[in-house]
Structure 1
Amino acid sequence: MTTPVPEEQAAGAFTESAAEAVQTAVMAARLVMAIADAARRHQQRKHKGEEEELPAAKKAVAEVGGDVERLLPSDISTALMGEADWPQLAQQLLALREAGVDLEQVLPRIGEVAVNVRDQVAAKASEAATEQWVRVVREALPAGPVREGMLASPTWPEIAATMARLDEKGVNVRDVLATMYDTVQGVDQAVATTVGAPAPRMSESAKRSYGELSIGLALPVDLDLSDRGRVFGQLAISSQDNEKYARWVREAVPGYGREVDLMVASSQWPLVAARMAQMEKDGEPVAARVANLANDGSWREGPSGQVTSRLARSTVNALLGPGNELPGPGTRARVNTTAARLTSPSMGGPTKATAAKGGAAPAQPGVASHREAGPVASSGKTR
């Protein structure tokens, strides 16, 4: 039996989320009704010494069914009345009415509780489903304004739902995304030119944070490490993946949770997480690599104020493996073959179109892709 790919899982989640939300709402409605019925029974025992018998089921269904349909949201009332024990629930409602409870007041309140529960469950299911499509978009498109615009759009849930429906119909969504990329990028550039948008500028906080940690990672030129919400959107790292990566580090160095938390809260962490995401996409055993951090205690040595930077460096070294460690502070950066192999179009590397136009590979050794200078125009003379 094959494991479903992320988009298949997401498509199923979208399909099931609405039904699950309604069923959970019905559970909430049943809970409120059970509590109300318990209160009725308690009062009758307290004042009359015994509980009154429930009305006949057939009579109860006939008398309160219309009220339930009229006073509860249609999806919830339909699901509630479709339950096998609906006659017993109807008996409880009619018993409440006969005990003096105004169902015209109670049922709408039960409906409010059920709707609130339904919407919370639906929102959570939708978020879980869309996060799986974040990975698909990250793998299919290079980093840049097109990908960031998709993931940051207020219509992103709708976009993800549409991709899920296409996938259900047998459409290869990854191919669609890759095919449409050049067209959408042209639209983005045309609009930017029309409105006079300036070229993306690198934030000062991002400039200060660039260095050895980002060797081999092709990052957006306007990466803003000062804005946590935005940077994870730019890198297309979901909150679920971010929590997973942080957990792997904590498990690798038990007893140092405070230091790990400080690193995760730092500006270096998005770069470490981006490397994990890229390696995971490439099929590398990321969790096993991170576990090697347990064998490196060097990050614990030195000034306490620099422990975050040392831990980030050691984490990346664990990911890259023996022989591919980052250059030490104050030394010239060198080519890192493992890190260079991680450079991918999905993280903003050259697209197929660029390669087709004869774009040359960077020739500057040991300089991260985001720091490499562009080709110098030839004057037509040689020395």
Structure 2
Amino acid sequence: MATPTPEERVGEAFTESAVEAVQTAVMAARLVMAIADAARRHQQRKQKGKEDDLPTAEEAVTEVGKDVQRLLPSDVSTVLMGEADWPQLAQQLLALRKAGVDLDQVLPRVGEIGVNVRDQVAAKAEGAGTDEWVRAVRETLPAGPVREAILTSPAWPEMAATMARLEEKSVNVCEVLAAAHNEVLAVDQAVAKGLGAAAEPVMSRDAQLSYGPLTTGLDLPRDYDLSDREQTLTKLAIDPQENQRYTRWVREAMPGREREADLLVAACKWPLLAARMAHMESEGEPVREHLARLAQDTSWQDGPAAQLGMRLVVAASDALCRPASDGPGESRTMVNTSAARTTSPSVDPTKTARTAATAEAGTAPHRQTGPAPKSGQTR
């Protein structure tokens, strides 16, 4: 038997993940229907002292089969009706109808639950295959339109699969990405110019106000808008799974302080903290050990209640930036003098940025990245 090609293996993996997603959706649908049947039985025992007898399997399959096909998503209904215990499930559904339940109202809701579960499983399976390449793109390319275009493209899963196939053939994918960056950036700027748009984004007010200890050393775009969290996370190359993981780490680091943890995650500058955690992860730093300082040093509690969210952001940034060897009370928060000059009312931040920059489009000077490696591992 011939060994499957990389393309065939990718296709098989996609098929397997799709089947698993639908099967999980069916499990969820069966659970909801079992709960509904249990409620029916309980109510009948309570009101009448006994449960009604189930209709025959033949009658149930005949009466509700078409309804299931009509009211549930086709992939879910096909798997559900193909299982060995489908006649028993049909009996439960018909018993619900005879008890006064409108299946035209219930089954679509069951279908919605199943679809949500199916899509979550599918997204997780897809993310498992692309997460490493999201990280590779983020670590190889500077923040800007090229990186954002890659990670937000509908073709991203296909791009990630292509990168995996190239790596299997011993190609240095990061070197390819780095070599292509300037060419693709030129294309992006040419298209922007043709459409009458500015090729280089101006520094947004949020980027100006956040410039300093919170962002020093991070590879950030110049035009993020913290009022649009989803778009900002996309610009920072933080995918939903990563954001959920960082949120969970904060809550685990602050046991018994759920309100404060939620307040920190809800802060408008949370995406910048998430970007810091992502950067630390890429450097192999123990993010959760740093976050544990939030519970060890609770000086952020002192002050007006209205400013608690801001104090938590500063404390989290300080906890993440200090070396792991520092004790919980050894805060090293300090003024960033270049940032202070940049944000001074007498100086235009964009002018300062241009004089200090190395002419890398779309990236602030203190966020410049070094040249991509010319050899070695892709990640």
Partner of 2:348: none
Q: Counterpart of 1:216 in 2: which secondary structure?
A: coil
Q: Give me the whole-angstrom Cα distance separating, in 2, the residues matched to 1:150 and 1:241.
A: 18
**Residues 263 and 308 in structure 1, CA contact (< 8 A), matched pair in contact too:** yes
Q: Counterpart of 1:369 in 2: which secondary structure?
A: helix
Q: Counterpart of 1:213 in 2: which secondary structure?
A: coil
Structure-to-structure mapping, 1:161-200, within 5 angstroms: 161-162=157-158, 172=167, 179=176, 181-182=180-181, 184-198=184-198, 199-200=200-201
Matched, 1:16 2:20: yes
Residue 202 of structure 1 aligns with an amino acid whose one-letter code is M
Spell out, residue by residue over 1:346-378, the C-alpha distance to the aligned partner (whole angstroms, 9 max, x if none).
xxxxxxxxxxxxx9899xxxx962499xxxxxx
- In structure 2, relative to structure 1, the CA distance for the partners of 1:85 and 1:278 (3 Å cut) is same
Partner of 1:88: 88
Matched, 1:149 2:152: no
Partner of 1:377: none
Matched, 1:314 2:318: yes
**Residues 216 and 368 in structure 1, CA contact (< 8 A), matched pair in contact too:** no
- CA positional deviation for 1:236: 1.7
Q: Counterpart of 2:218 in 1: which secondary structure?
A: coil
Matched, 1:205 2:206: yes
Structure-to-structure mapping, 1:306-345, within 5 angstroms: 307-308=311-312, 310-318=314-322, 321-322=325-326, 328-329=334-335
Partner of 1:122: 118
- CA positional deviation for 1:80: 2.9
Q: Counterpart of 1:212 in 2: which secondary structure?
A: coil
Residue 85 of structure 2 aligns with an amino acid whose one-letter code is D
Partner of 1:137: 134
Residue 271 of structure 1 aligns with an amino acid whose one-letter code is L
- In structure 2, relative to structure 1, the CA distance for the partners of 1:327 and 1:314 (3 Å cut) is closer
Structure-to-structure mapping, 1:50-61, within 5 angstroms: 51=52, 54-55=55-56, 57=57, 59-60=58-59
**Residues 25 and 115 in structure 1, CA contact (< 8 A), matched pair in contact too:** yes
- For structure 1, list consecutive stretches of 5 or more residues without a partner in the other structure: 1-6, 334-358, 373-383
Spell out, residue by residue over 1:259-300, the C-alpha distance to the aligned partner (whole angstroms, 9 max, x if none).
555544445433332121111122222212332455556656
- CA positional deviation for 1:312: 3.9
- In structure 2, relative to structure 1, the CA distance for the partners of 1:230 and 1:212 (3 Å cut) is same
Structure-to-structure mapping, 1:1-383, within 5 angstroms: 16-29=20-33, 31-32=35-36, 51=52, 54-55=55-56, 57=57, 59-60=58-59, 63-64=62-63, 67=66, 71=70, 73=72, 74-91=74-91, 108-109=104-105, 111-129=107-125, 133=130, 136-141=133-138, 142=141, 143-152=143-152, 155=154, 159=155, 161-162=157-158, 172=167, 179=176, 181-182=180-181, 184-198=184-198, 199-252=200-253, 260-293=261-294, 296=297, 305=307, 307-308=311-312, 310-318=314-322, 321-322=325-326, 328-329=334-335, 369-370=366-367
- In structure 2, relative to structure 1, the CA distance for the partners of 1:185 and 1:106 (3 Å cut) is same
Aligned residues between the structures: 321
Q: Give me the whole-angstrom Cα distance separating, in 2, the residues matched to 1:279 and 1:187.
A: 32
Q: Give me the whole-angstrom Cα distance separating, in 2, the residues matched to 1:279 and 1:81.
A: 49
**Residues 140 and 178 in structure 1, CA contact (< 8 A), matched pair in contact too:** no
Q: Counterpart of 2:366 in 1: which secondary structure?
A: coil
- CA positional deviation for 1:248: 3.7
- CA positional deviation for 1:179: 3.2
Q: Give me the whole-angstrom Cα distance separating, in 2, the residues matched to 1:100 and 1:229.
A: 45
**Aligned-pair Cα RMSD in Å:** 4.8
Asked which structure has the greater CA Rg, the reply is: 1
Q: Give me the whole-angstrom Cα distance separating, in 2, the residues matched to 1:62 and 1:312.
A: 59
Could you tell which deviates more after superposition, 70-79 or 322-331?
322-331
Residue 319 of structure 2 aligns with an amino acid whose one-letter code is T
**Residues 242 and 273 in structure 1, CA contact (< 8 A), matched pair in contact too:** yes
Q: Counterpart of 1:277 in 2: which secondary structure?
A: helix
Spell out, residue by residue over 1:46-73, the C-alpha distance to the aligned partner (whole angstroms, 9 max, x if none).
8xx9955743x4x447744864676455
Q: Give me the whole-angstrom Cα distance separating, in 2, the residues matched to 1:50 and 1:276.
A: 56
Residue 137 of structure 1 aligns with an amino acid whose one-letter code is V
**Residues 135 and 236 in structure 1, CA contact (< 8 A), matched pair in contact too:** no
Alignment TM-score, normalising by the size of structure 2: 0.63
Could you tell which deviates more after superposition, 131-140 or 173-182?
173-182
Q: Give me the whole-angstrom Cα distance separating, in 2, the residues matched to 1:211 and 1:265.
A: 21
- CA positional deviation for 1:171: 5.8
- CA positional deviation for 1:216: 1.5
**Residues 25 and 76 in structure 2, CA contact (< 8 A), matched pair in contact too:** no
Percentage of identical aligned residues? 39
Q: Give me the whole-angstrom Cα distance separating, in 2, the residues matched to 1:108 and 1:87.
A: 19
- CA positional deviation for 1:76: 3.6
Q: Give me the whole-angstrom Cα distance separating, in 2, the residues matched to 1:295 and 1:96.
A: 55
- For structure 2, list consecutive stretches of 5 or more residues without a partner in the other structure: 1-9, 340-356, 370-379
**Residues 21 and 122 in structure 2, CA contact (< 8 A), matched pair in contact too:** yes
